Chains A and B, each alone.
Chain A
Amino acid sequence: MSSLLPYLINGISLGLSISLVALALALIWRTVGMIDFGLGAVYLLAAYAALMAKTWFGLPYVAFMAIGLVAGPIAAVAIYGGVYRTFIRRDAALFVLVLVSLCVHIATQHGLAALLSAQKFYLLDDIIPGWEIGGTRLNAVQVAKMFLSLAILAGLSLFFLKTSTGQAIMAVADNKRLAQCMGIDVNRCYRIIYAIAGFIVAVAALPEVTESGVDPYVATTPLFLGLAAIIVGGLSAFQYPVLGAVLLGLCFHLAVWAFSSQWQDIVAYTFVILVLLARPQGLFGGMRLVRERP
């Protein structure tokens, strides 16, 4: 068998890439309490915003990437204000919020396909510069993503522990009614959370589509992998989905190393299902925040 190292490196790289979407999903799940499939729509809108900036305005790489990064949070907050807020204010049931977010994703996906055609567009015409590390080639985009994920994770921890806005958000997550009665602006907290999640998703999306191109279906797999990472890792601390994502990434690439690339998906998904069977709360930590008392 060939050396393990390049597969490990690729695995960790993929894992950190998945971890961003996982983190965004975890953030909204823990604070708002919904599984936000609409982040797939945010992913697409960030990618397409960058694409439009490139094709319509002829902007250079850094400029249209910046536009994409800004489009992410704007889209997320717009979806919250325009769609979710009505349901959240009515204390809608979880399944309603989940279905609504799924519809947002589907509508965006097919809307983009109808308006702009479903073909694949590329953001970069040249090969991305990269480096040889440990027997495999990592390009600048992948390396940037790895650093960005770690930076975002650190930033989030600081945000929630140290800033009063972060604490207010934790309070809203714990007891929304009481938070409002303490004078916390719940709506503002939600907007901030969606903006943060939207930004994180944009950071995940843009490098990915730089490498693989933009089409209306690019968001489905990252969304699913982000969910899978939460299933594998658990939710009660923000590191857990990241760890789960890294494990998942390793699983994908080690499957190639051990079997062949044809079995990559199946092995990884089987791993997810096994974790779900054996430890549904995640390998590292609980998905439940407060003990349920009868």
Chain B
Amino acid sequence: MSYAIDVLTLAAILVIATHGYMLIKGLGGLLHLGHAVFYGVGAYAAAIVSTKLLPHGSFLASLAIGGLIAAIGGLLVAWPGLRNRGRYFMIVTFAIQLIFVTFVINLHVTGGPDGISQIPGISFGLWQPDSHWLISLGPLTLTYPQIKFGLMVAFAVLSFVLCSRLIASSYGRLVRAVREDELVVEAYGREATPVKAGIVAIGAGVTGVAGALFAHHFNYVGPTQFELDTTILFLVMLIVGGQYSLAGATLGAVLMVTLLEFLRFFLDNVLGVPFEMTAHLRQVVFAVALIAMLAWRGSGIVPEKLPVYRRSRDGDATGAEHIAPSHSAVTLAAVPASRAERPTVSEMGPPVLTCSGLSKRFGGVVAVADARLSLRRGRIVSIIGPNGAGKTSTFNILSGFEQANEGEAHLNGVAILGRSTAEIARLGLARTFQDVRAWSRLTVIENLLAVQPGFGGGLAGVSAGLSTIFPGTRPEHTERAWALLDRFGLAGHANAPANALSYAQRKMLSLARISCFDPSVMLLDEPTSGVDPRRLDTFLAHIRGFADADHKAVCLIEHNMAVVKAVADEVVFMNEGRVLASGTPQEILGDRALMRVYLGHRELKAA
């Protein structure tokens, strides 16, 4: 019986460590091959601190220190390993896993190869491990091990609750967005690396607490407990149970402990396998089980559960599939008529975005030679030109995805060349992508919630994020998201994962997302490409709406002359990296010499 309690106590501790792993791998999408190191750091820190520094009985302080040191360790590992898109993160963590044991064996403070023993058990005041103190609860008499087990379960439940809150919070959503597509997260104003480092630190911290609990439970820590085999055990627990679900991680830990004990019993008692072989055979079973699970279902037994948002007011929670704007529908024919109503250049304020002399070369290829642009609020500029003319490169330079060799650009008076993508976005410039790049495994409404303005970038974002772990998403943000979904006709799909949408719906989501971000300048990269002609009107109405109703400065790259004629106030013609001409659509599209360059010997037929 006491053996069973012991096993279950260990299971509870391993559950907590697996929660930490789930945060890093499942939520953060970061494959990390050194989880036993965080566990070990927490265990050793608690061991060292409670045997050498702290007074007897300061168990909670020891836990806190174990968690903290592990979290700091996580940060140290994460920061360099996660630059450059985290491709090397798995190698870095693997290296550290192998090195950790060497370090620990060689250092005196960790007790060398013998480890640290005689770690005080969990104790509160009078309740000590060796006291024969028993708690009587009616017919039940609880011994120390049983109370300890209950305490561990309480810790495991606490860990579950806290991690669930984190996952459901706006920070958790941000971490998932980074997992799906971190470049786009940066395009909407938030540095990805601090987010990733943050989740690694938190996951490491949780695991460190588990390690500290282990130290106090087992009363001994030694180098052999934290080797690669232990990391594999954690991996199997996480992947088999379900890496994208906290419940899955919990289930995986419990399942694997059960399997472990079953194997031990089966191999020892039933098959009579000698002791030395048992440990090895167990590892073989785990390795094979992991391969089998990966072959069957990469996401494990328990799949990811996406959050569901409901509207707070009663109103149509069921939107039929339609993509009509709530503004009055504007048809292609009607738009030129309303152009007369739009303010002229002289009536508008100063330009929001100007750039000139932009040039970009790589190798011998000149992508952009001398680009210039001037964008004003409420006006739509369309860039047209042959392939290779430098249109997308210009967008990339302005949004910080590429660095210009020469030139200057100013947004609301601030120079933006040389700044990072996230900085430029925060200053008020956002762009869409030709291939949409929605966050696939976030729901449609989450795609909007994840770009809400309001968080600062960089480290400010992390601390702001951490402070919202408990409150979750602000209600006014959710309301705004619902309103936008209505406007763009996606309300019926609010809780569907973005990758379940059709192509046209995803293009629409792209517009909804940039609208949600509320920048001053919108760069739209071929927003209507691949959209079938019947739906074009609604897209055009939205794009026009950005300028007329929302007073944004809009610039779009287009190949469809009908679209250009319908929405653009100004057309800029680029070829071979230069701006050759700019003017009204009539001027540019009517200029035969220019159109010959663009269209070949057949002239544009009037739409």
Residues of A within 8 A of B (CB): 35, 83, 86-87, 92-96, 98-100, 102-104, 106-107, 109-111, 113-114, 117-118, 220, 224, 227-228, 231, 262, 265-266, 269, 272-273, 276-277, 280-281, 287, 294
| Cβ contact within 8 Å between A118 and B276 | yes
Nearest neighbor of B273 in chain A, beta-carbon distance? A114
| Cβ contact within 8 Å between A87 and B288 | no
| Chain B: interface residue total (CB-CB under 8 A) | 43
Instruction: Contacts A276-B80, A280-B88 given; indicate if A227 touches B433 (C-beta within 8 A).
Output: no
| Cβ contact within 8 Å between A266 and B103 | yes
Nearest neighbor of B291 in chain A, beta-carbon distance? A103
| Cβ contact within 8 Å between A95 and B280 | no
| Cβ contact within 8 Å between B90 and A110 | no
**Set A104, A227, A265, A280: member contacting B287, Cβ < 8 A:** A104
| Cβ contact within 8 Å between A99 and B295 | no
Nearest 4 Cβ contacts at the A-B interface: A107-B287, A114-B280, A103-B287, A110-B283
Taking the nearest CB of chain B, how far is it from the CB of A235, in angstroms?
A: 11
Taking the nearest CB of chain A, how far is it from the CB of B264, in angstroms?
A: 14
**Complex-state Cα separation, A86 to B296, whole angstroms:** 11
Instruction: Contacts A99-B239, A276-B81, A294-B183 given; indicate if A92 touches B91 (C-beta within 8 A).
Output: no
**Per-residue interface assignment for chain B, residues 274 to 303, with 1 indicating a CB less than 8 Å from any chain A CB and 0 otherwise:** 001101110110111011001100100000
| Cβ contact within 8 Å between A102 and B295 | no
Q: List 6 A-B contacts (CB under 8 A).
A: A35-B90, A86-B295, A104-B287, A110-B283, A276-B80, A280-B84
Among listed B55-63, B92-100, B336-344, interface-contacting one: B92-100
**Set B80, B187, B284: member contacting A111, Cβ < 8 A:** B284
| Cβ contact within 8 Å between B283 and A231 | no
**Set B229, B235, B277, B401: member contacting A99, Cβ < 8 A:** B235
* Cβ-Cβ contact count across A and B, 8 Å cutoff: 109
Nearest neighbor of A277 in chain B, beta-carbon distance? B80
**Set A93, A95, A231: member contacting B91, Cβ < 8 A:** A231
| Cβ contact within 8 Å between B80 and A110 | no
In the complex, what residues of A have CB within 8 A of residue B103's CB? Answer: 266
| Cβ contact within 8 Å between A272 and B95 | yes
**Complex-state Cα separation, A272 to B84, whole angstroms:** 17
**Complex-state Cα separation, A104 to B84, whole angstroms:** 29
| Cβ contact within 8 Å between A106 and B283 | yes
Taking the nearest CB of chain B, how far is it from the CB of A236, in angstroms?
A: 14
In the complex, what residues of A have CB within 8 A of residue B102's CB? Answer: 265-266, 269
Taking the nearest CB of chain B, how far is it from the CB of A247, in angstroms?
A: 16
Sample of 20 further A-B pairs with CB below 8 A, known A35-B91, A102-B33, A294-B396: A95-B31, A98-B33, A100-B290, A100-B294, A103-B232, A103-B287, A106-B283, A111-B280, A118-B276, A224-B94, A227-B91, A228-B95, A262-B106, A266-B99, A276-B81, A280-B84, A280-B88, A287-B87, A294-B401, A294-B433
Taking the nearest CB of chain B, how far is it from the CB of A70, in angstroms?
A: 25
**Complex-state Cα separation, A271 to B228, whole angstroms:** 22
Nearest neighbor of B107 in chain A, beta-carbon distance? A266
**Complex-state Cα separation, A218 to B239, whole angstroms:** 28
